[in-house]
Amino acid sequence: MSVADRRKLPHADVELTLVGLGCAQMGNLYRRTSYEECAGAFNAAWDAGVRYYDTAPFYGYTRSERRLGTMLTDKPRGDYVLSTKVGRVMVPDETVGAEEDSYLDPLPFRPKYDYSYDGIMRSFEASQQRLGILKPDILYIHDIGSMTHGDKHQHYWQQLTTGGGFKALGELRSQGLTKAIGLGVNEWEIVADAMQVFDIDCAMLAGRYTLLEQKSLAFLDECAAKGVGIVVAGPFNSGLLAGNRKFNYQDAPAEILAQLDTLNEACAAEGVSIQAAALQFPLAHKAVVTVVSGARTGEQITSNVKWFSEKIPASFWETLKAKGLIADGAPIPGAGA
C-alpha cells in the first residue's frame, strides 16, 4: 500500500487517500507550533501524496482552519479532499486565556456548542471564510455524544434532530455545498444512533478501532453492510502506540500498559515497528476508507510514510491473534476484508 492510494466513500463522490493529515497541531495543540513547522508538515504530506486534510473550528479556536486554508488555497482545488466540522459556533471573546482546552495561544474566539439549524449554518459559513474554500468535501458533526456532553447530551441531540441540525446538513449536501456528511467523534455508539435517524455518508471515529481497542468491530461490520465509510482517526491512541504514555487523552491505565507491553514483545520478535502496525491494521476492515494522523513537523510526516510502507509479515498478525490482541473476526492486513 501507498499513502497516495485511494478509497471511495460508498455513497458519495469522494475519494480519500489511504492516509490523511489531521490538523489539530496547526492549532497549537499541547504546545506552540510555528507557521513554518505547520507548513513543513503540510508540504511533506503533499510531497508524499497525501491529499486528505481534516480540520475544525475548535482547533486552536479557529487557528487551524486559518493556517490550513492558507496552504490549501495555493493548490488546485480538484487535487485534494478537505473536511471540517460543525457543532461549535466560535464567538469573539477577549477573555480567552493563554491556554484553553489544551491549545496554547488560542485565538480570541470561544466555542459555544450549537447543533441547531442556525448553529450549523453559522458554523459552516464562518468556516468557508476562514478556509477561503466555499465547498469543503466533508462536514462532520463534531463531538456530539455523552462522552463530551454528559447529562446535557439529550439537549444537544435534540438540537440535531428536532432542532433542525440534521436538516441543515441535508440541505448543504443537496445544494452541493458539501459532498458528504457524517460525525467526528470518539464514541461509536452515537454514530450508530445517528444512522437510525439520518442518512450519513461517513464517520470519523477517533481511537475506537486500533491495535489497542476493537470493541467497535460489530459496529464497523454494520457500517460496511450499509455503505457508511469509516475514517479512523487517532490510530496511535493519543500517542500511546507512538511512544508516549497517554491513552484517550489521559495517563494510560495499568491494563492498557500491560497490553502495550505484549504488543511490543510481539513487534520485537518479528522485527516490526509498532507504529507501522498501528497505521496499517485499521485499513484491513472494508468499512475503513482512510487513517488520519496528526503531525507537527515534516520529519513526523516522513516517519509516518515510512511506517505505512513497512512490510509486515503475515505471521505477525497471526501472532497477535493467538495472543488475543486482535478480536475474533477482525480482518488482518493481507488476508482480505
| 250-283 confidence digits (pLDDT tens) | 788 888 899 899 999 999 999 999 999 999 999 9
pLDDT at 336 over 70: no
pLDDT of residue 227: 98
Catalytic residue, from 52, 53, 54, 156: name it.
54
pLDDT at res. 334: 84
Domains (ranges, CATH) in the chain? Answer: 6-253+274-310 (3.20.20.100)
Which residue out of 52, 53, 61, 85 is catalytically annotated?
85
- In tens, the pLDDT along 82-108 reads 999 999 999 999 999 999 999 999 999
Helix (H, G, I), strand (E, B) or coil at 67: helix
Grid cell at residue 202 = 461517513
Choosing from 52, 53, 59, 103, which is the catalytic residue?
59
pLDDT of residue 337 exceeding 50, the answer is no
Catalytic annotation present for 137: no
Q: Which three cell numbers stand for residue 222?
A: 454494520
Single-letter amino acid, residue 47: D
* 53 labelled catalytic: no
Phi and psi (nearest 5°) for 185? -145, 175
With 0-12 / 13-18 / 19 or more C-beta atoms within 10 angstroms meaning exposed / middle / buried, residue 76 is: exposed
Over the chain, what is the mean pLDDT? 96
- 133 — pLDDT class (breaks 50, 70, 90): very high
User: Mapping DSSP to helix (H, G, I), strand (E, B) and coil, where does residue 219 land?
Assistant: helix
> What is the pTM assigned to this prediction?
0.96
What's 253's DSSP letter? P
- Number of helical (H) and strand (E) elements in the chain, helices listed first: 12, 16
- The x, y and z cell numbers of residue 215, run together, are 470493541
Active site residue 85: yes
What is the spatial distance between Cα 166 and Cα 181, in angstroms, rounded to a whole number? 10
